A and B are shown apart, each in its own frame.
Chain A
Amino acid sequence: MLEIKGLRVTLEEEGKEILKGVDLTVEAGKVHAIMGPNGSGKSTLSYVLAGRDGYEVTAGSVTLDGEDVLELEAEERAAAGMFLAFQYPVELPGVGNMTFLRTAMNAQRKARGEDEISAPEFLKMVREKAKALNIDNEMLKRSVNVGFSGGEKKRNEILQMAMLEPRLCILDETDSGLDVDAMRLVADGVNALRSPDRGFLVITHYQRLLDHIRPDVVHIMADGRIVETGGPELALRVETEGYADIAKSVA
């Protein structure tokens, strides 16, 4: 469903090239993991996919079910079914979590020509999904991510994902900063969404999240490129050998 071909990206301000030709295909129903050392360009890839400003695509293409993604605004990509769980979820002081969720849901529905969700229906849905992620009413009432702990922020990202039901889920280091229990909640939340028509791109620095979210394919990213692709066993190799050796073995 997601096809990235020869993607090269530079930072608009500095003109520095970060992605140096990325090729990657994520099929519906599959979980792809991207691993790689810090600074290799994983977050940059996720931002470019989600449509953040400040990057210039100098070559290559990105399509979602054949549709050119790079032509779309960020909100259009969301309506088309793309979702990014941020590595650093953003605090929105003064914007209530519930308002935020309902506005986002209804905006996407409107963009797709669907009816708005009714207030009772929305409430029921949000209560149910929040409960599964151990998010209490108090958290739902507060401003988005304001005063949330690191783990609460990550669970809030998964709540948004569960509510918005995207077709392509990109998770950028959703495991970082989580203790074992929070990791399990997050992983359960992700696994609950796995379905034959939904694809996942799970970015992680460590193998441990992949114990809970079993990937079908693992990619290693280094210096703005995918340098190796394999099965789940590749993640285990990273754990024992480290990135340096793998990158070297490829070079």
Chain B
Amino acid sequence: MASDATRKAAEALLHALALPEGEAGWVRERRAAARSRLLEAGAPVRRDEYWRFTDPARLTAPIATAEAGEAPAQAAAVFGDVDALRVRLVNGRLRADLSDPLALDGAAIAPLGEVLKQDISIVRELVGQLELAAQEKVSRPLAILNTAAATEGLAIQAHGATVRPVLVSYDQIGEGASLVRHVIRVEAGASLTLLEAGVPTNSVMEVEVADGGTFHHVRVQTGERAPAVTHVFARIGAEAEFKTFTLTADGVLTRNEVVIDIVGDHASGHIAGAVLGKGDAHIDNTVFVTHSAEHGESRQVFKNVLAGASRGIFQGKIFVRAGAQKTDGYQISQSVLLEEGAQFLAKPELEIYADDVKCSHGSTTGALDETALFYLRSRGVPKRVAESMLVAAFVDEAISEIADEAMQERMRALVAKWMAGRT
């Protein structure tokens, strides 16, 4: 329940944003419900347990929606010349004029703004619904804010085996909030890969993976940017596969929440991340995995490389409902501190109501192994190169979670580039 102050802060947040117009009745109802939910929840504050390690102040300052603008296409460069359907958002606005035509074999794609003017059942079943479900155990007010106000993004329905990934990139100039929401449904037996480059200030992705479906997600968050919060909500059906990997480098404040629910038997959900922090970067990965079905398999693999006075945060939970027998849950969060000023804080949590499950978690932090460094140097490898080699080896467990090997190589190259460029 919100205090007066947090309710006022929530009001201010809503007030600052442009309100959507011309939407279908069900959308208007959902927006109104979200506004009340947000006022009830209040804006997050530091004393909330869920925000213990990350001060939400920079994410809750009321900021007006960014003006439309022209920004050079930079974000997508991290994926090089990968063959993909490319979609650009500039200042949080979908730019058809700067994007490929929204046509992809095996999938139907439309701008979110368009589908919110209509009444399409699969859209109605998703928008705001996975977000709402994810509020069950923990309040996530900044995702509610997104449900209340976000109009830009994509609606994707994969009905077949798509081959080309969809690459969504976000470029931003100037100040201003950019709220982005994607709703994705992968039909039974279908598959889809989504790539994201850049970070809107507040983004939500709702993904439903139907039975036997496959969803792969790789995103790269690099470059100078405003404080940002992202939410990925997923519901995973029987024998479906969900994989998400995020490479986050620098930035003042990035909070990535991934909340998945394994609702069908024999399904898997893998959530991995590589964190590269220097300067005053603050990078928070908060993960909540719910097992609601039998024989589910989940992995959380997070590797933090922290230099300067940067901070890496990991909060990861495995929640196993009664009846989710034979769950196999794994979680590892590790950090290498390249300098003394860097800091890694981890909060692993297990909450288990089934008796026949296998869950493990581990967390480590420390400097690079001195002995290993000396060994490399004694063979003539310069210190910086030796550090890069050891960091590459350290990060690899997370990168190996990516299904596509060529994509793994791209991520390895980004890590190497970051190591070489760090001062």
Interface of A with B (CB < 8 Å)? 50-54, 73-75, 77-79, 83-84, 86, 89-95, 99-100, 103-105, 107-108, 111, 143, 160, 164
Question: B residues within 8 A CB of A104?
Answer: 376, 379-381
Question: A residues within 8 A CB of B381?
Answer: 75, 103-104, 107
In the assembled complex, the Cα of A50 lies from the Cα of B374 at a distance in Å of 9
Asked whether A51 lies within 8 Å of B377 as measured between CB atoms, the reply is yes
Question: A residues within 8 A CB of B378?
Answer: 50-52, 74-75, 77-78, 83-84, 86
Asked whether B377 lies within 8 Å of A86 as measured between CB atoms, the reply is no
A92 and B380 in contact, given A103-B385, A107-B385 (Cβ under 8 angstroms) = no
Asked whether A86 lies within 8 Å of B375 as measured between CB atoms, the reply is yes
Asked whether A78 lies within 8 Å of B371 as measured between CB atoms, the reply is no
- 25 interchain pairs, CB-CB under 8 A: A50-B374, A50-B378, A52-B374, A52-B378, A53-B370, A73-B377, A75-B377, A75-B378, A75-B380, A75-B381, A90-B371, A90-B374, A92-B375, A92-B389, A92-B393, A93-B393, A94-B394, A94-B396, A95-B392, A99-B389, A100-B376, A100-B379, A105-B380, A107-B382, A111-B382
Main secondary structure of the interface of B (DSSP, over half): helix
| Closest-CB distance, B394 to chain A (whole angstroms) | 7
Of listed B371, B372, B374, B386, residue having the most chain A CB within 10 A: B374
Asked whether A95 lies within 8 Å of B380 as measured between CB atoms, the reply is no
B126 CB-CB contact with A under 8 Å: no
Determine the residue in chain A with the shortest Cβ distance to B371: A90
B390 CB-CB contact with A under 8 Å: yes
Question: B residues within 8 A CB of A52?
Answer: 374, 378
Question: B residues within 8 A CB of A89?
Answer: 375
B46 CB-CB contact with A under 8 Å: no
In the assembled complex, the Cα of A95 lies from the Cα of B372 at a distance in Å of 11
| Closest-CB distance, B405 to chain A (whole angstroms) | 15
A95 and B377 in contact, given A75-B382, A90-B371, A90-B372 (Cβ under 8 angstroms) = no
Of listed A93, A94, A111, A143, residue having the most chain B CB within 10 A: A94
| Closest-CB distance, A233 to chain B (whole angstroms) | 33
| Closest-CB distance, B370 to chain A (whole angstroms) | 7
The contact of A95 among B374, B382, B383, B389, by CB within 8 Å, is B389
| Closest-CB distance, A102 to chain B (whole angstroms) | 11
In the assembled complex, the Cα of A160 lies from the Cα of B380 at a distance in Å of 11
A78 and B396 in contact, given A92-B372, A92-B390, A103-B385 (Cβ under 8 angstroms) = no
The contact of A90 among B375, B380, B389, B394, by CB within 8 Å, is B375
Given contacts A51-B377, A53-B370, 20 further A-B contacts (CB under 8 A): A73-B377, A74-B377, A75-B383, A78-B378, A79-B380, A83-B378, A83-B379, A84-B378, A90-B375, A92-B376, A94-B392, A94-B394, A94-B396, A100-B379, A103-B385, A104-B380, A107-B380, A107-B381, A108-B380, A164-B379
Asked whether B374 lies within 8 Å of A74 as measured between CB atoms, the reply is yes
Question: B residues within 8 A CB of A53?
Answer: 370, 374
In the assembled complex, the Cα of A73 lies from the Cα of B381 at a distance in Å of 11
In the assembled complex, the Cα of A99 lies from the Cα of B374 at a distance in Å of 17
| Closest-CB distance, A84 to chain B (whole angstroms) | 6
The contact of A160 among B377, B379, B393, B394, by CB within 8 Å, is B379
| Closest-CB distance, B391 to chain A (whole angstroms) | 10
| Closest-CB distance, A86 to chain B (whole angstroms) | 7
Question: B residues within 8 A CB of A86?
Answer: 375, 378
Question: B residues within 8 A CB of A160?
Answer: 379
In the assembled complex, the Cα of A79 lies from the Cα of B382 at a distance in Å of 10
In the assembled complex, the Cα of A103 lies from the Cα of B375 at a distance in Å of 13
In the assembled complex, the Cα of A95 lies from the Cα of B371 at a distance in Å of 14
A78 and B377 in contact, given A92-B393, A95-B390, A95-B393 (Cβ under 8 angstroms) = yes
List the 9 shortest-distance A-B pairs measured between CB atoms, nearest first. A94-B393, A78-B380, A104-B379, A108-B380, A74-B377, A90-B375, A75-B377, A107-B380, A50-B378
In the assembled complex, the Cα of A54 lies from the Cα of B386 at a distance in Å of 18
| Closest-CB distance, B340 to chain A (whole angstroms) | 15
In the assembled complex, the Cα of A100 lies from the Cα of B376 at a distance in Å of 8
Determine the residue in chain A with the shortest Cβ distance to B388: A103
Determine the residue in chain A with the shortest Cβ distance to B392: A94
Question: A residues within 8 A CB of B386?
Answer: 75
Determine the residue in chain A with the shortest Cβ distance to B400: A94
| Closest-CB distance, B334 to chain A (whole angstroms) | 13
In the assembled complex, the Cα of A103 lies from the Cα of B382 at a distance in Å of 10
Question: B residues within 8 A CB of A107?
Answer: 379-382, 385
Question: B residues within 8 A CB of A83?
Answer: 378-379
Question: A residues within 8 A CB of B394?
Answer: 94
Contact with A along B131-175 (1 / 0, CB 8 A): 000000000000000000000000000000000000000000000
Question: A residues within 8 A CB of B393?
Answer: 92-95, 143
| Closest-CB distance, B329 to chain A (whole angstroms) | 24
Determine the residue in chain B with the shortest Cβ distance to A90: B375
Question: B residues within 8 A CB of A100?
Answer: 376, 379, 389
In the assembled complex, the Cα of A245 lies from the Cα of B385 at a distance in Å of 48
For chain B residues 71-112, which have a beta carbon within 8 Å of chain A?
none
